[in-house]
């Protein structure tokens, strides 16, 4: 396998794996890949994941490729301009293991949830050939934040986040996500946190949950 041949074969890919190379070339010399990496001809993103050039990488698409996931939490809220902070770490939800991944193009953080909660995301076009990446809806990003962040427990915590709720935000959809939570304690905490947003209706649901 020559480097020029590699470029021709994978140039249409945003990133590629060792399995991709084995499918293309049958036999892959990992020491050769290491040499190319040391020369700057190849970029190793994470174990077994490579790219030809960091300049054409889209961090949103990359977040999905490092491990099966969708972008959510603080990064998604910043993406939608729902919080005032600029978030540099790309935060995602996964059904796999929670992990941090430091790469040549930035840090990626993954939070594990139950498989049934891996939902509520949409597809957006990336800067790489319009390939789509997965990102939570505004409602699901808020849900995920409250679900993962055990320190967010009441309306004071909600106000401290300084949320900018966008026009068209669907509070019913947010409540539907909360109903997926099987822990009564966690569900109650989330209703208390979201009470400034959900209003009196959330209090009624909270009382019902407390009886479970």
Residue whose pair of structure tokens reads 């949409």 in the numeric block: 122
Q: Which residues pair with 106 in a beta bridge?
A: 103
pLDDT in tens, 54-81: 888 999 999 999 999 999 999 999 999 9
pLDDT, tens digit, for every residue of 169-189? 999 999 999 999 999 999 999
pTM value surpassing 0.75? yes
- In sequence order, which residues have a C-beta less than 8 Å from that of residue 16 and are 6 or more positions away? 10, 49, 50, 51
Q: Which two tokens stand for residue 143?
A: 């849900």
Q: Are strands 132-136 and 121-125 parallel, antiparallel or unpaired?
A: antiparallel
**Would you call 88 exposed, middle or buried from its count of C-beta atoms within 10 A (0-12, 13-18, 19+)?**
exposed
């Amino acid at each position: 396998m020559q480097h020029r041949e590699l470029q021709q074969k994978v140039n249409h890919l945003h990133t590629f794996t060792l399995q991709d190379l084995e499918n293309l070339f049958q036999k892959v010399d990992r020491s050769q890949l290491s040499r190319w990496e040391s020369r700057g001809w190849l970029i190793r993103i994470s174990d077994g994941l490579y790219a030809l050039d960091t300049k054409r990488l889209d961090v949103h698409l990359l977040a999905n490729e490092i491990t099966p996931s969708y972008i959510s939490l603080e990064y998604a809220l910043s993406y939608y301009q729902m919080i005032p902070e600029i978030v540099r770490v790309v935060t995602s939800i996964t059904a796999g293991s929670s992990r941090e991944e430091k790469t040549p193009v930035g840090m990626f953080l993954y939070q594990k949830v139950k498989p049934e909660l891996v939902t509520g995301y949409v597809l957006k076009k990336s800067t790489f050939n319009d390939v789509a990446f997965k990102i939570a809806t505004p409602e699901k990003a808020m849900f995920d934040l409250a679900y993962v962040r055990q320190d967010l427990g009441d309306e004071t915590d909600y106000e401290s986040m300084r949320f900018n709720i966008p026009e068209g935000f669907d509070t019913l959809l947010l409540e539907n996500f909360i109903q997926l939570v099987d822990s009564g304690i966690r569900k109650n905490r989330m209703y208390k946190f979201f009470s400034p947003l959900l209003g009196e209706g959330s209090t009624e649901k909270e009382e019902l949950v407390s009886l479970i």
